[in-house]
Structure 1
Amino acid sequence: MAVIQVTDSIAIDDSEIEESFIRAGGPGGQNVNKVATAVQLRFDVRGSPSLPNAVALRLMKLAGKRLTQDGVLVISAQNFRTQERNRSDALERLLELIREAAVPPVARRPTKPSKASKVKRLESKVKRSGVKSMRGKVRDE
């Protein structure tokens, strides 16, 4: 039972991650039909005691289509020809997602436009209005 250190404050127990090996699609000749090299990594985001609630919520939002309705994050890796490399690739992708979710979003401070920017905007509107008014039909005087 190993512990995987994700960040300074978050560590995940190895038993929380479930791996299953499947046959990879795509090119590879006869080897691809015989050997299950692709890995499907499953991590229960909702049921994980290791993740703080805020991090779990952000992780579920980041996961998108990779999240099942039960709150399980599924990561598939089949880029490499060996089980071990696909396994480490999937684990690294999971850890990267958790690290990204661990960073709280910066609160937006509402700002007001400066006086100069307001004046500049109004002057450009007047100028544009003048250009458009010149495009009208020619009037005989």
Structure 2
Amino acid sequence: EVADAARKRHGLPNEAIAVDVAETLRLTTDRPALLLVARNLVDNAVKYSNEPVRVHVVAQLAADGGDRPLTLTVRDEGIGIPRAELKRVFHRFYRVEHEKVRSRKGTGLGLFVVSQLVRNLGGSIHAESEGVGRGSTFEVRLPVKPPR
């Protein structure tokens, strides 16, 4: 649902955003908040990607029992984030200090809002990147009740 809407918003072909979500994935959470988190992460991945856009979204339950957290991963092949700035991307009004980032419109609020929503859902979020020009990965972990 999020990927289809993003493809439409950005005028992208189906192959631009690959989605791997288990069909049996059921969770008890705030659906609008989770959709906003996913939408923002996918939109950012598209926004900061080079042509051709390639974004991969994966949602799965960990197989370690217990609460079995949901892991939502959004990976792109875009402009990347300098390692020294990875922790700051979730700060309010923060934008990466790189000309490729500054050339795109933004307020520095999107990832801050995402991090607050994830925290309110009882989860965690972190970002990874091998550096500028190497793409980025955002991983969200949320508690869920296992399907019965």
- Higher helix residue share: 1
TM-score normalized by the length of structure 2: 0.30
Higher relative contact order (CA 8 A, sep 6+): 2
User: Bigger radius of gyration, 1 or 2?
Assistant: 1
